[in-house]
Amino acid sequence: MTKFILRITLLTLLTCFTALASKAQVGYDYSQYDVGAALGFNSYYGDVVTSKSSKSFILNFDYNQSAFINYILEFQAGKVMGGDSVKDLLGRQFSTDFTSYAFRIQIQAGELIDYSDSHLANALKNLYVGGGIGIIYSNVKEINRYSLQLPGFYTPGENKASQLFFPARIGYELKVYNKYQRPDFKVDIGYQYNLVFGDNLDGFKAGAHNDAYGQFTIGVKFSIGGVTSYRKQIPY
C-alpha cells in the first residue's frame, strides 16, 4: 500500500512539473524556419531620366537564429523599366526582365531593446534593418538607343548581363500569434534598395554611376517547423 501511494505521489508530481514546464514556454517559443511570398513594386534609378513603375514576385526561405534575427534566402522574378524615347533628350527607353537570388541578414529591434515595460517599445520591436549580397540576371526585352532630338546620338550597352548587387532593406514584420502565443504567421512590409555592382541592368553603358532600383514590398510568411525557445517572452 505504501509503495502504491508513493508511486501515485511521484506520478502526480511529475505530471505537475511537466505541466508547469510546458506552461513556462507559452509566449517564448518560435519556429526556426519560415517560407514566404511577396509582391514588389519597383522603381528604377539608372541611365534614363524618366522612371516607370513595375512589379516583381518574391519567394523567400528564412532561418530564424532567434525570434528577431533572420537569415533569408530570396528569389525574385520581375521587371524594371524606364525612359521615354520622345520626351527624354537622350532618347533612352528600356524594359528589362530579371531574376535574382540573394542572401540577406536582418536584425529586428526586439533583439536589442527591452520591450516588456513599454507599449511604444513593444510596437517597435518588429522594426528591422538588413543587408546582404545577391546576383541578378537581366534580359532586355525592349530598348531604344537612339535620340530623336540629337540626331546621331547613340548609347551602347549589353542586352543580357549577370551582375552582383547589394540589397539594403528596412521594414516591419507584423507577427500574428497562435493559441500558444507563438508567431506562426507574419506580414512583412518593407522598402529595399538594390545597388547593382555594374551598369548593364538597363542595357545602357553610360555615365559614372552604377544601376540601382528600389522596391516597396508586402508579403506573408508561414512557419514550417523547428520550434525552439527564445530567452525573452515574445508577445506582450
**pTM of the entire structure?**
0.85
CA distance 78 to 198: 19
Contact 107, 132 (CB under 8 A): no
134-188 pLDDT, tens per residue? 999 999 999 999 998 888 899 999 999 999 999 999 999 999 999 999 999 999 9
Topology of domain 32-226, per CATH?
Answer: Porin (2.40.160)
Interacting residues of 168 by C-beta distance below 8 A, sequence separation 6+: 130, 131, 192, 193, 194, 195
Which residues sit opposite 176 in a β-bridge? 185
pLDDT score of 80 more than 60 = yes
Of 183, 195, 170, 186, give the one whose Cα is nearest residue 219.
Answer: 186
| Cα-Cα-Cα-Cα dihedral sign, residues 71, 191, 169, 66 | negative
Domain boundaries, the chain: 1-30, 32-226
Determine whether 151 is exposed, middle or buried from the number of CB atoms within 10 Å of its CB (0-12, 13-18, 19+).
exposed
- According to the model, what pLDDT value does residue 231 have? 94
Higher pLDDT, 31 or 20: 31
